[in-house]
Each structure stands twice: as structure tokens, then as C-alpha cells.
Amino acid sequence: MVTNMPATVTLNNGVKMPRFGLGVLHIPDGPDIANAVKWALEYGYRLIDTASIYRNEQGVGEALRASQVPREDVFLTTKVWNSDQGFESTMNAFQSSLDRLGVDVIDLYLIHWPGPDPKRTLETWRALESIYLTGRGRAIGVSNFQIPHLEKLLAEVEIPPMLNQVELHPYLQQTELVNYCREHRIQIEAWRPIMQGQVHEIPTLIELARRYRKNPVQIALRWLLQRDIVVIPKSQDRVRIKDNTDIFDFQLEEGDLARIDALDQGHRLGPDPLTFAEDFG
């Protein structure tokens, strides 16, 4: 059964973004990142998600230039790290990312984590607004922001975030946050959507994988897509990069979506954004 799911989502500023891409956290710069991006593009990925703190922007850029895929066909995301927050330092960090990536425009630029100082977060957002208004960022957003962070930001900004990238998977569904973002037309994107491979250990997903003739990773990714959430599974293994794309030829039934919804435990694998304060100084 081939589904008619669109290949993109439309952000609140009208920019179209692929709903599926490659995350590159912890993939070392050099041959490892070059191969991962190369294989991803070969298998049809058109969204690459990196960050300054990943220290592989240079390799991502080199892989994009080596590819036969035109730059305008690849949606490129990167992020400002915590220690670079503030207006001027964010502007400088953005330029450094452009230089390392070897591009003139970033498709999506994100604040990587909410900081403990709302004033500094607002200054950082003002920098992102400036980047957006000058056309060097086609879209801007945040990452790991919870409702209290968003409430404070939305009360002050001229341009609202277009996307919020958060940890989201069967054991951490953040339903209240997802609903809040939808009410404010902020697209949700899931990082760690396959729980670092732990989805292979979830009985419900194993059972559904057998029934749909897929694997648990593909079931988890498809569930998120059908919930209108952008997904960026990370891998540097060629076979897994290819297998992760095999999610557009089937559709989970509503009852099966509900079974996965019922798995929520509020269980984080990454830091809690309400307490995380690494490198803010």
C-alpha cells in the first residue's frame, strides 16, 4: 500500500521543510560524516540536521558540495550553542557556521537549548530574527523549549518560532507540549525518535513490525510521521540509513497508532530542558 503522505511540511512562514531527514549528532568530522551524508543523499534524504556543538559542520558542507544534489534541494539545519547565546555572540556563531558549512544561507537556524536567563534567550532570539529578516536564514526556531520557555519568548518576540525540535519517541511523547506548539503554529520535530535503537526492545513495536512486515524502527518513525512530526533519525551505518527511508509505503491503522500512544512513560533519554544549563556560563 503506497501512501499519499506529502514529502514536506509547511512552516508558519510558508517555507516547505522535508518531514524526514538525517540527524548527525556524535558522527565524527571527516570520512564518517562525509559517508553518512553521502549515503543519505543517495537514498533520498533531503534534510540534514547538524549543530555547531556537533563539530562536524565542515564535513557536512564538504559532503553537500561533493554530492550531485543541488544545494537548493537540501534543507540544512544548524544550531547556536549555549555558550554563544546573546545577540552579538549569536551573530558571530552564525557566521562561523556559515563558514564551516561553506554556504550562504541556512534553511533553519535554531537556539539549541533554552537558557536559565530569559533576557539572554530573548537577545539570542533577536539575533535569529535579524538573520531571518536579512534572508540568511530561511526559517528560525528553537530546540528543547518547554511550554514555560515558549510562553516567555512568545510574549516578547516580533517573529514567532517556526519549529521546536525536542526529544520525542514512544516513551516520551510530550503531548501537552505538542498540543501547545500546534496551537501556536510551531512545527514539532523529533530528535532521538528511535531511542538510540531501544525501540527494538519494545514488545508492542516488535509485534506491529511483524504484522506490517517492517522493523520496530520503521514502525516508530511511521507513527511520528502520521502524528505530523518531522523526524531526524541518526545513523552512520549505510544499511540503516537506507532502511530508515522505508516508511512511505505503508500506513499504521488508527488503532495501532493509539497502541503506541499508550506507551508514553514520560521517560527521557537526554537532559531535562527545565534543569539543563551546560556551558551557559
pLDDT tens digit string along 123-150?
Answer: 999 999 999 999 999 999 999 999 999 9
State residue 5's pLDDT score: 76
> Residue 185: is its pLDDT beyond 80?
yes
| Active-site annotation, residues | 54
CA–CA separation, 57 and 151 (whole Å): 31
CA–CA separation, 223 and 216 (whole Å): 10
State residue 4's pLDDT score: 63
Of the pLDDT bands very low, low, confident and very high (cuts 50, 70, 90), residue 3 is low
Query: Could you give the 3-state DSSP secondary structure of residue 26?
Result: coil
pTM over 0.75: yes
Q: pLDDT above 70 covers what percent of the chain? A: 98
pLDDT tens digit string along 84-104?
Answer: 999 999 999 999 999 999 999
Domains along the sequence of the chain with CATH:
8-197+230-236 (3.20.20.100)
What is the rounded radius of gyration, in angstroms, for the C-alpha atoms of the chain? 18
> Residue 1: is its pLDDT beyond 50?
no
> Residue 36: is its pLDDT beyond 50?
yes
